[in-house]
Structure 1
Amino acid sequence: MKTILAAFISIVVISPAHAQSLFGGFVYLRDVDSSIIQDIRYATSNNFVGRPLAGYDAGECVVKREVGLRLKAVQQELAAQNLSLKMFDCYRPARASLDMVKWSQNGHETAAERRYNPKIPKTELFRLGYIASRSQHSTGAALDLTLVDLKADNSGKYDPSRSYADCTAPAEARAPEGSVDMGTGYDCTDTKGHTAAPSINPDQRAWRKRLVTAMARQGFVNYSKEWWHFSLPGAGGAAYDFPIQPRRN
């Protein structure tokens, strides 16, 4: 833990009073392209921790301006195909990553948590590279997202009172995400969540390829262990820790 804390000494910590002004080249994605669907999961209880993470005071996607403009370009290409991006996570306050560290060390795992980690103990998630104590998300260079078929029925909603199958199960048994079937749910720490996993079916593989290809045209690079995770080389820098606050209309 001392090593983890030491790594955060270099993080740029900004007071909440300045967070709304979105310094450091950050913008609200809604101000760049309001058509991009947002489901910022760490601002809700619908995530592997089971509660909002520290620093997520609003369910808003905050990105570096360049990142937002490139996402807008991706969205424009997808719109012609009746598709949309759906954002799960964008900028992540550094305190949220520390919150994940504490969660991984709390000594117990619930059934809801195991939906996301069906085969891997949560104490192993950092060592295996599924979660980072110092995330690229905090620099503004990384994103978690998926595709939505705008012609499909996307009305299914997450019900916290239900017992869903784990993230590797067929889409009809998993928690609904209102998106195309990528073969696993979001944040699924399993080899089936690896982008090139051989265990998914041809349709799921085609959707993953479609997403990777669309993002690559704007310079985004996919992380091989997570089909949903993309980064923009050169867009990062210092890690930030300002909280995500509600956007003013």
Structure 2
Amino acid sequence: MKKHLILLLLWAVVGVSARAQKPATVTIPKNKYGLQVVSSTALYQQLVEQNPDQELVELATYIPGLVLDIKYATPDNLVKEPVYTMATAYARKPVADALKKIQEELKPLGLGLKIYDGYRPYHVTELFFKKVKKKAYVANPKNGSRHNRGCAMDLTLITLKDGKELEMPTPYDATVKQSHPDYPHVSEQVKKNRALLINTMQRHGFTVFHNEWWHYDFNEWPKYPLMDIRFEDLKAMKN
């Protein structure tokens, strides 16, 4: 009887200890559309502490030789005005790791990645939807964007020797049918370049978006919440 009582007490202590060590559930507030959006740095830091994969990594400092061409920090974009105050790109840690592997795979071919955009704060998606007429080419704020989750990348291929972009069907952000990744009426060289980009990205866990040859969604995007934290705040936390 005494032995049985001791065992019960031990199980109780173990149970209490396990519950004490279990991290508290992080509650993400909902916006006007009923979407959970992380908009405070404190809440973001809590998520990262519980799961390091939640970290938004600054890509230029993480991937050797990566080239950035952040159109949204310039007037050369869909809304004809800068929407970022910093020309940088972020992505979740597993996305950044996959991109690093892709960059390493391309290097022996004399090629590399050029990034147009990565993580996009939620308020920018709201701005795009308000200002861009062709809604098929911008995310609806009622749903949010994979970009808002740090799990979508806009990119292309360049030659390392001179930094020139490989020829693709259209320029970045062209809102035309020729931008679709399966558009057939392009030259054989363009088909080859586009296929190389799509196939390389797919091998590393990305899926090309149905109407943009440059847009790739990380397949594990549902694991990550929508975010609305500015680049400046992300950088300040690192510093």
Report the TM-score when normalising by structure 2: 0.75
Segments of 5+ residues of structure 1 without an aligned counterpart are 105-121, 155-177
Match of 1:43 in 2: 73
Which of the two has higher C-alpha Rg? 2
Alpha-carbon distance change, 147 to 69 in structure 1, aligned in 2, over 3 angstroms? same
Once residues 124 and 34 of structure 2 are traced to their aligned partners in structure 1, the CA distance between those partners, rounded to angstroms, is 12
SS at match of 1:68: helix
Larger proportion of helix:
2
Q: Deviations over 1:9-63 (max 9, x none)?
A: 4212125x8889995421111232131111111111111111111xx23111101
Please tell me whether residue 191 in structure 1 is matched to residue 177 in structure 2: yes
Q: Partners of 2:102 and 2:47 in 1: how far apart?
A: 23
CA shift, 1:65, in A, is: 0.5
Q: Name structure 2 gaps, 5 residues minimum.
A: 1-30, 49-53
Q: What is the aligned length?
A: 197
Segments ≥4 residues shifted beyond 6 Å = 17-22
What amino acid is aligned across from residue 132 of structure 1 in structure 2? A
Contact 1:64 1:235 in 2 (8 A): no
* Aligned residue number for residue 99 of structure 1: 127
2:57 maps to a residue whose letter is: V
SS in 1 for 2:148: helix
- Percent identity between the aligned chains? 31
Specify the alignment match of 1:73 in structure 2. 101
Does 1:244 find its partner at 2:236? no
Aligned residue number for residue 218 of structure 1: 204
**Relative contact order (C-alpha < 8 Å, sep 6+): which is higher?**
1
Counterpart in the other structure of 1:131: 138
Q: Which digits, 9 at most, give the CA deviation of each residue in 1:101-146, with x for residues without a partner?
A: 2213xxxxxxxxxxxxxxxxx2xx22xx311122110011111000
Contact 1:12 1:241 in 2 (8 A): yes
Aligned-pair CA distance for 1:8: 6.1
**SS at the partner of 2:100?**
helix
TM-score by length of 1: 0.72
Contact 1:19 1:243 in 2 (8 A): no
What residue in structure 2 maps to residue 27 of structure 1?
57
